[in-house]
Amino acid sequence: KKTNPTIVFIFGGSGDLNHRKLTPALYNLYVDGFLNDQFKVYGLGRTDYTDKKYRDHLLEGIQLFSRRKDDGKGPWKEFSEKVHYLKMDAGAGTAEEYSILDKAIQETEKEWKVEADVLYYLSVGPNLFPIIAKGISTIKSSHKEDKTRIVIEKPFGHDLQTAMDLNKLLAGLFQEDQIYRIDHYLGKETVQNILALRFANTLFEPIWNNKYIDHVQITAAETVGVEDRGGYYDTSGALRDMIQNHILQVLCMVAMEAPVSFDANEIRNKKTDVLKAIKRYTNEEVKENVVRGQYGAGWMKGSKVNAYREEKGVDPNSATETYAAVKFQIDNWRWQGVPFYVRSGKYLAEKTTLITIHFKQAPNYAFPAEAVDAWRPNRLTLTIQPENDVRLLFQAKRPGQTMSLNPVEMVFNYADAYNEPQPEAYETLLLDAMMGNSTQFMRNDQVEIAWKVVMPILDSWNSKVPVSFPNYSPGSWGPEEADALIAKDGRSWTNSP
Ligand code: BG6
């Protein structure tokens, strides 16, 4: 598996995502031998950089954030010769500005004596997506549909209407199979493993339905606050930032029907079917099934932290939620009556992303009452981070002369099982985009239906005067109302694997 001769242009080349994720991902792909010798990456931005200064800046990112470090004398030295910087004002959007890129492509193709694949990566604010997309469409060398791809970072739209507008604009400029809408959760190893676990084993699928599963939980908890992203976050919130995209995508992997092939559209059709089946809530049902929270001031790991409303870039009266919990219902044959409880928040007690499948109680009537003291239903836990593992909780007989049952766990840990480093999500996704595989990217309809799922919640919140925020303390597991949301169904959140 190796890329074709490829040129990557990164809009937002001097930005944070490139520094932390994109360049480290390309560097690791290079070290792992996935990049063609004919490979070039151009960072694009308004900052003044020489190639040398730009490379030094990126090397710092490798040292801080890459899974492989490099002191500048290792493989980085060779790789960095493939890295260039072009100063341009992409937001100006003039054909003249974009002709710099045309020139770079032509010169490179002349040097390589082949037609190059070209990947444009939009690692910029969403207000620039339309301008840059139009700019790219003016580049003559990029009129080869099978050689040109465009990767769009999140957020894809602010709501259904803006997502539809953006889809429409892109559809006027490119073919759908040239457009790669990124959701980095889909590149995570353990998220990809959901498909293997479910569909490469006989064991799980027969019981993966409402006959045997009581409910499902998906938690994406973070121990960071909004950091220096207050300005963006205050226009977004937990529902838009995490649930509309990452969590719904993970939910689709858990709930989808078996695909008949690994064709990109086949997998995405099956996921889209799940989104279509999620019940759209009325205003009244939003109150019953959704909880939002905002953190106040407090302490995280011994340090004092600001309330959300005191964060830089945040409105002091902000109604934006930094926590959201939703009970979703999937109205199809398989999942009728099985709630999917999902939640995500900033400044929570632990950094963890986990999926728990809670099975129904076994008909364990034969056991004497005293045997089942510590009885717990079977549970399958998929931990996505920080550890990557799969755990199965079941009952065993405690050693001794009496029949006494005890919950025990069978654990499969990625790091222990495979003595191989795991690629980062951005490595997997960048390689897929360069290879033209869009399976793990969002299709136009997928992104719109995901918006349709959350719009009733956003609309219902909008029509209300802000609730009594802040309502949870940093370092907690979120607002009490979220515990009540699940407790009223006689269940409780699983916080740790
Ligand atoms: C991003 C969100 O998409 O995902 C951030 O914008 C969030 O707010 C991040 O912190 C979480 O990603 P991960 O991979 O650290 O779980």
| Smallest CA separation from ligand 1 atom 8, residue | 241
Q: Cβ distance 234 to 318 under 8 Å?
A: yes
Q: Is 153 in the pocket of ligand 1 (CB under 6 A)?
A: no
pLDDT at residue 466 greater than cutoff 80:
no
The complex's ipTM? 0.98
| Smallest CA separation from ligand 1 atom 14, residue | 185
pTM for the complete prediction? 0.95
Q: Is 222 in the pocket of ligand 1 (CB under 6 A)?
A: yes
pLDDT category of residue 146 using cuts at 50, 70 and 90: very high
| DSSP string computed for 176-239 | GGGEEE--GGGGSHHHHHHHHHHHS-SSSGGG-STTTEEEEEEEEE-S---TT-HHHHTTT-HI
pLDDT at 496: 84
| Catalytic residue set | 246
* Interstrand relation of 213-221 and 352-359 (parallel, antiparallel or unpaired): antiparallel
Helix (H) or strand (E) holding 48: none
Q: Cβ distance 330 to 340 under 8 Å?
A: yes
Expressed in angstroms and rounded, the spacing between residue 19 Cα and the centre of ligand 1 is 16
Number of helices and strands in the chain (H, E): 17, 16
pLDDT at residue 374 greater than cutoff 80:
no
* Interstrand relation of 352-359 and 323-328 (parallel, antiparallel or unpaired): unpaired
* DSSP reduced 3-state for 12: coil
One-letter amino acid at 16 equals D
Please state the atom number of ligand 1 nearest to the C-alpha of residue 425.
14
Measured distance CA(329)–CA(337) in Å, rounded:
7
Per the annotation, does 379 bind a ligand?
Answer: no
Tokens in use for 289?
A: 């099934």
Q: Is 321 in the pocket of ligand 1 (CB under 6 A)?
A: no
Of residues 427, 425, 444, the one with CA closest to residue 178: 444
Per cent of the chain over pLDDT 90 is 87
In this predicted model, which residue has the larger pLDDT, 366 or 10?
Answer: 10
* Interstrand relation of 179-181 and 323-328 (parallel, antiparallel or unpaired): unpaired
Q: Which phi and psi angles does 129 have, rounded to 5°? A: -55, -50
Distance, first Cα to last Cα, the chain: 35
pLDDT at residue 350 greater than cutoff 90:
yes
Tokens in use for 164?
A: 């539809």
Taking residue 319's Cβ as centre, other Cβ atoms within 10 Å add up to 17
pLDDT at 439: 93
Per the annotation, does 304 bind a ligand?
Answer: no
